[in-house]
Structures are given as structure tokens and as C-alpha cells.
Amino acid sequence: MAWYRSLPQGSITSWKDLCKQFTSHFTASRKHPKTEANLEAVRQGPNETLRSYIERFNKEAVQVDVTDDMKKYLMRKNLRDGTKFKEMVAIEKPATWDEILHKAQAYMQFEEETMADAMRQTRAEDNRPPREQGNKNGD
């Protein structure tokens, strides 16, 4: 009722006017269902981990009514080029959506272990004492 009272006096002169005002006001605030295009827009970023991409993709996928085959296709299509996971999916062609997610787990774990190893290596190098500089004059 608050909406109706907020209308300027005299702005509604017929049932048709009321219907038009009502639908234009309330339709805009309604959530529209997501489509396949929303899912297709989910792409793995240049520095994004596989885990982050799959989490974003799944979050969108549960809101879109598409087949598992379409999810497999769109995920594979939007994986970052040059990744081992994209290569595996293209070669092995997992048969089901569950299979692709299961295989992704191993790649995510490997990716995370590799990143952790790289960070440990960097920290170890940063903690090394500086090398002594020899006397350049040969003294």
C-alpha cells in the first residue's frame, strides 16, 4: 500500500494506468532467472587458481538450468589456455560432470602443493644470509 500512496495524485485515471504503474514498479525489483549466457561468462582469470574458478563456476551453475553436458562444455571452453587441467579434459574427455569434478580435485591439490613449495623456496632464499663480497682489488 505504501507504493500506491506514494503515487502522485491524479496519476492513475484508469485500471490500465494502475496495471502499467504496478508492473513497471514491481517487475524491476524481481530477480530474473539466470541463463546459459551467465554461465558462459564465467571464465578462468589469468592468475586464478583452478579451485577458485571451479568454485565460481559451480556457484553460477546451480542457478542456471542447463544439462551436465553443457556444464562440461562451458567449463572446458572457459578454462585458461595452457593449463594441464584443460589439456587433460580435452584429451581424456571425462564422461560425466561428476567425473570432471573428481579429476579436478587432484589437479587442485597438485596446484596448491606446487604453490606452497614455491612459497617455501622463496622464503628460504629470502632468509639466507647475504653472500660476502670478495675484495675487488684482490687484497
- Residue 4: what pLDDT? 78
Number of compact structural domains in the chain: 1
Residue 95's domain comprises: 36-126
pLDDT band at 93 (very low <50, low <70, confident <90, very high): very high
Q: Which among 65, 57, 73, 63 is positioned nearest to 108, based on CA atoms?
A: 57
Contacts of 97 (CB under 8 A, 6+ apart): 68, 69, 71, 72
Q: What is the mean pLDDT of residues 64-81?
A: 95
Residue 78 is predicted with a pLDDT of 97
Q: Which residue has the higher pLDDT, 77 or 130?
A: 77
Domain contains 24:
no
Reported as a single tens digit per residue, the pLDDT across 109-137 is 999 999 898 888 888 777 776 665 555 55
Is 7 a domain residue? no
In-domain check, residue 75: yes
